[in-house]
Chains A and B, each alone.
Chain A
Amino acid sequence: MTPLAKLLEAALFASARPIATDELAALEPDASPAELQAALDELREHYDVDGHGVELVEIAGGWQVLTRAEYTEAIERAQLAARPARLSGAALETLAIIAYRQPIGRAEIEEIRGVAVGSVLKSLHERGLIDVVGRGEGLGRPLLYGTTPVFLEYFALRHLDELPRADELAIALRAARPEPEPVAATPDE
């Protein structure tokens, strides 16, 4: 491996969170973005081709070394690590709505889901998957929610655009997702 790839490997090993590309770049200021990408590719290939128990994954706008799924059972059985609890259906529905319509207020989410979502929002917020991103224009200036980097990590998404676009879904309903209006999205402060 090249020295840069080794350096990246060490940094990725040291971190428990995905490391953003620009953070990786700060490790070796002399390296060009192309060299950095080449080193990342080299490291990924090293793990994939030579046969390693871990792999390099691009996640939440950064990079992370993860164990391969085939070893999860054994690791969990030996109680060396435990998988996080699954999200409930209600939590997933609420997250899906927020991911597509952010920033969005509670009333709108309830309108789409047809049920009250107060406690679900609270627990999603506690888990760091969503955050308050502003206040709406309407009555009482409702809190508006959006997804966080933790959300991307949880679902192993590189960025939000990786989710299928509304018009790619089997039942397309373009009117349901109008172009975002910046006026309504930003609080007038």
Chain B
Amino acid sequence: MSVATPPYSAAIGATESGFVVELTTFSGPLDLLLSLIREEQVDIYDIPIARICEQFVVRIRTLGLNEAAEYLEMAARLIRIKAQMLLPRGDEEGWEDPRAELVRRLLEYQQMREVVDVLERRGEERRNQFSRAYLPQSPAPPQAPLALSLAELLSAVDRVMRTVARPNMHEVIPRALDVPGAIAILRGALAIKARIRWTELVERTAEPWQILSTLLGLLELAKLGELRVAQVKPFADVEITRDAASEAA
């Protein structure tokens, strides 16, 4: 990963004025450190810590990375190593290079970057080839489309139809009511008798249409005021009497 390096002085000025360079240039502090080491062309096993540390601090300010905790942590680590390097080495035998851990991590990171290069190349190659169809991973296999012949469909319909119970069909015969006829009978009956009972008007064997015709005729005449309808108690026989008023008229 190469980075165009802006002139430091100008860039630092820009940082101070709040200008922040893209963070994504480096994928982390180790990436930045490795690129510095490459730029400065120093031996990874013998890193001039003072120089690299200074460069690192300058660079994170330049790139506006000084707000990212990971870069700050690395800067602190470098400064600590630098301090440890300055301490007098009392015993040359037992002295452990304070840079060793950093070197190990850098090498490990470098190794991983090489794998990234391989993956990137392979991924790009595969990206440039289409499979027959791009399907997002579905949790369940798609249902197979229905395969059915017309004969199969019809025989299935037939089976279903046979299991359904035959509907109970009724034949409806229209029977017209004869309300004018019933009114004539009522008027005739009332002309003979002033008081008639419902049971006298309608025979026990009367058809429903005859009963309904008589009822409607009765109500019609009651509305016209030709007769009065009375019932002494619920379900008692209905008494029909000539209306006194109409009689007077």
Contact = CB atoms under 8 A, between A and B. Distances in A.
Interface stretch (A20-28, A36-44, A137-145, A170-178): A170-178
A96 B129 contact: no
B109 A86 contact: no
26 contacts: A13-B132, A15-B132, A64-B131, A83-B130, A84-B127, A84-B134, A89-B24, A90-B27, A92-B123, A95-B119, A96-B115, A99-B119, A100-B112, A111-B105, A112-B105, A112-B109, A114-B105, A116-B70, A128-B137, A154-B123, A156-B122, A163-B118, A163-B119, A169-B115, A171-B111, A176-B107
A114 B108 contact: no
B200 interface: no
Given A16-B132, A114-B105, A93 B113 contact: yes
Contact of B112 (A83, A96, A172): A96
B120 interface: yes
Given A13-B132, A90-B27, A169 B114 contact: yes
Interface in A34-93: 57, 64-69, 72, 75, 81-84, 86-87, 89-90, 92-93
Contacts of B4: none
B74 interface: yes
Interface string B20-62: 0000100111110000000000000000000000000000000
A16 to B, nearest CB: 5
Given A97-B112, A169-B115, A113 B128 contact: no
Closest 7 pairs between A and B when the two form their complex, measured CB to CB: A156-B126, A96-B115, A66-B129, A115-B28, A69-B128, A155-B122, A114-B30
B83 to A, nearest CB: 21
A150 interface: yes
Interface in A98-112: 99-100, 111-112
A176 B110 CA distance: 12
Contacts of A169: 111, 114-115
A64 B134 CA distance: 12
B135 A93 contact: no
Nearest to A87: B123
Contacts of A57: 129
Interface in B1-31: 1, 24, 27-31
A86 B127 contact: yes
A75 B24 CA distance: 31
A53 to B, nearest CB: 10
Interface residues of B, number: 39
Contacts of B173: none
Given A66-B130, A100-B112, A156-B122, 15 more contacts: A17-B131, A65-B131, A66-B131, A82-B134, A83-B128, A90-B27, A113-B27, A114-B28, A114-B30, A116-B70, A156-B125, A156-B126, A169-B111, A176-B104, A176-B108
Contacts of B111: 166, 169, 171-173, 176
A68 B105 CA distance: 40
Contacts of B108: 112, 173, 176
A70 B14 CA distance: 45
Interface of A: 13, 15-17, 57, 64-69, 72, 75, 81-84, 86-87, 89-90, 92-93, 95-97, 99-100, 111-116, 128, 150, 153-157, 163-164, 166, 169-173, 175-176
Interface string B84-123: 0000000000000000000011011111111110111011
Given A15-B132, A65-B131, A173 B28 contact: no
